[in-house]
Every structure is written in C-alpha cells, then in structure tokens.
Amino acid sequence: MNEPEATSCTDDGAILRGAVLRNGRCDTDAVKAPSEDDLSTSGSQDPEHEGAGSGDDAGTPTATAQRDRDEHGRAVASLRERNARRSGTGKKRPWWIEVPLLLITAFLLTFLIQTFLFKVYYVPSSSMDPTLHGALVGGDRIVANKIVYDFSDPKPGDVVVFRGPDRWAAEVIAIPGPTSILGKIGRTLGSVVGIAPAKEKDFVKRVIAVGGQTVECCDPQGRIKVDGVPIIEPYVAAGNEIPFTPGVDDCSRPLPSHRCFLPVKVPAGVLWVMGDNRRNSGDSTAGCQNNTPSSGCQGPVPIENVIGKAIVVILPVSRWHTLGDPGTDQRGG
C-alpha cells in the first residue's frame, strides 16, 4: 500500500530542524540534532514537559534536553526508513549476489538481441578469404542483420549467414572442438555471444544468383556467367581461384578444369551461393564440377534457411570493415 506524501517535515507533530520537503518526501540528510540550549529552552517552554518524570532531576533542563534528543533521533530514523521504502533503496545487496545478477541480466539481453535483431558470428573456416578470415588467421567476428530480409529478398553480392540444407556437408572447422561436458557448454554459450564458432551447419557465403537466373562456369576467360553474361568478382583473390588456363585447362577440354560446371537454372525461392575462396569452399558448386546438377551437387539454398545478412566485421579491431555490395551484377566485357 502506498504511503501518503508528506506535506511538512514533521514526525508525530514535531518539526524536524534542517529537513527539506522535496517531491512529497522529507530530505533528512541535512537534519542535525538541536543544540542543548535550544532543546533546554524549548523543553522549559513545553507544558507537557513541566513536572514530568520522577525524582529531583526529572524536570531539569539537562534531563529535558536529553529526552528531546532521543525523540529527535527516533523521528529522523523513522523518516529515513520511510524514504528508503518509498525510493526502493533499502539495504544494498552483497557483491556476491549483485555481480551474478548483473551477469545474468547482461546475458539475457544479449540473447534477446541476437535472437531477434542482430547476431554475432565467429568465422571458423577460410572459405570466404580474403573477405573474411577464418580461425587459422584469427577468426573474424561478423554481425548479421536478422531483420533486413523481412522486408526484401537477398540479392546477388550479399554475404549471408544460413543454415545448410540436409544434403550439404558440414564445413571443416579449423580449430578442434571441446570434448568435455563443461567445454561443450562453454562453447554453446560462447556461440550465443559470438566468441566461439556457431553450429557446424551454419555457413557464411556470397549470393551469386537468385531464383529465375541461370548460373554456369565458365566463359573463355574462366569467369562465372549469370544469364549468359560474365560477372566481375573483385572479392575473389587471384590465388584463391581454381586453376583455369584458356585452351589448356578450360571447359572445352575432354577433362575440363574443376572450375567448370554446367548451366543451372536457379528455382524460385532459393539462392546460388559460393565462397570467395574458390579453392577451399564447400558451397553450391560442391560436386557440380563436370557433372549435371542432379548428380551430386550440393546446389542452391532455400531463402527460408537464411539467418541474416552479414553487414560488418567487428573483431579483431584491425579487421573492422563493412561488407557492402561489391557489384556482382556488373557485367564483364
């Protein structure tokens, strides 16, 4: 039940010296006990005090002053206790309760943010090198926007985080996983806040083609074609390409380059994704080289499997950069 707000700084009708009325509460921090002269004077003028007590000293100024000091102290203590109840500031919790509560609160807030808004991911493999570094060279931490695709579909050039379809093989993680129960619990909790690798079937790749487009490799210069037109891929480092030499090791030879795969018409509602490190990426093309799409290709990824769009590398600090649109829709000459 709410206590009534104070209208004056009194307790049992006695005005407290130095108390200030603020927002309906008496601020007793400035209250000081009255001097002996003040109390003895007021006591001598108080009819209730005259003749009080027993014995010769009961009505003396000294006894009256001591009695008034005691009453004043009780009044101040009562008001301070009342103010503490109103403000909710009672006895401070011990640190061994306060610290765990703060940690639990912070973890819950992080969990809610990463579940519904933005999620931090640890990049374990080198399949997106040099855009994203894997664990062997530090392991980038990226932020995935989980709500952006509620308003639009992924487009070519986007770097996306997604759950691998059942037919996809788990990507090789460059660091060994924990074997103990505590280690596995720690890794699970760490993956929630992005300080440990996520599940093995969570991938990060780049969208190359979307539903309705036809993707294939390669043109005479070894470039991927979308709808028959070669695309420019500035994010693929020269040393990360699968070997291809025009006229020697290309798609026209009886034993074509492993870079080559036949045209694939991407169905509606799915994405054709590839890693920037073409030499070391288990992506939509895995198993497609020199084969038809129905003969072992991992193939496209359903849009419903997409968790979010990777938008920025946040750690290590030296690696901070945004992941903008590199322009995969640019056409090569």
How large is the average pLDDT for residues 246-263?
90
Annotated catalytic residue within 146, 205, 225, 309: 205
- The confidence band for 108, taking pLDDT boundaries of 50, 70 and 90, is confident
Nearest to 31 by CA among 13, 11, 12, 48: 11
Average pLDDT over residues 195-211: 81
Q: Which of 196, 175, 83 shows the shortest CA–CA distance to 125?
A: 175
Confidence of residue 13 (pLDDT cuts 50, 70, 90): very low
- C-alpha–C-alpha distance, residues 115 and 106, integer Å: 14
CB 116 within 8 Å of CB 273: no
Q: Is 317 left (phi over 0), alpha (psi -120 to 50) or beta?
A: alpha
Query: Which two structure tokens, joined as six digits, stand for 19?
Result: 């108390």
pLDDT score, position 192: 60
**Global pTM?**
0.66
Which pLDDT score, from 0 to 100, does residue 197 have?
Answer: 60
Query: In this structure, how many other beta carbons lie within 10 angstroms of the beta carbon of residue 248?
Result: 9
The pLDDT assigned to 142 comes to: 94
Q: Where are the domains of the chain?
A: 10-87, 118-322
37-94 confidence digits (pLDDT tens): 554 454 444 444 444 444 455 556 677 767 767 777 777 777 777 776 666 555 678 8
Task: Calculate mean pLDDT across residues 103-121.
Answer: 85
Q: Cα(39)–Cα(69) distance, rounded to whole angstroms?
A: 8
Quote the Cα angle for 129-132-133, to 5°: 75
Which of 57-66, 164-173, 243-252 has the highest average model confidence (pLDDT)?
Answer: 243-252
Burial of 186 (0-12, 13-18, 19+ CB in 10 A): middle
Do the beta carbons of residue 302 and residue 273 sit within 8 Å? no
Percent of the chain scored above 90 by pLDDT?
Answer: 39
Closest by Cα among 261, 260, 224, 228 to 243? 260
Better pLDDT: 5 or 302: 302
CA distance 40 to 87: 35
Q: Is the pLDDT of residue 147 over 60?
A: yes
CATH of range 118-322; options 1.20.1560.10, 3.40.50.720, 3.90.1210.10, 2.10.109.10: 2.10.109.10
**Pair of tokens at residue 34:** 């009255």
- Percent of the chain clearing pLDDT 70 (strictly above): 65
Higher pLDDT, 206 or 332: 206
Q: Which residue has the tokens 């090789």?
A: 172
User: Rounded mean pLDDT of the chain?
Assistant: 78
> N- to C-terminal Cα distance for the chain?
79
**pLDDT at res. 51:** 46
- Give residue 49's pLDDT: 46
Active site (annotated) includes residue 205:
yes
**Active-site option among 126, 127, 191, 257:** 127
Residue 229 has pLDDT above 70, yes or no: yes
**Quick check: 297 and 283 in contact, CB under 8 A?**
no
pLDDT tier at 135, thresholds 50, 70, 90:
confident
Tokens of 85: 């109840």
Find the mean pLDDT for residues 2-15.
50
Residue 224's pLDDT is what? 96
Instruction: Give the range among 11-15, 21-25, 289-293 with minimum mean pLDDT.
Output: 11-15
DSSP state of 165: P
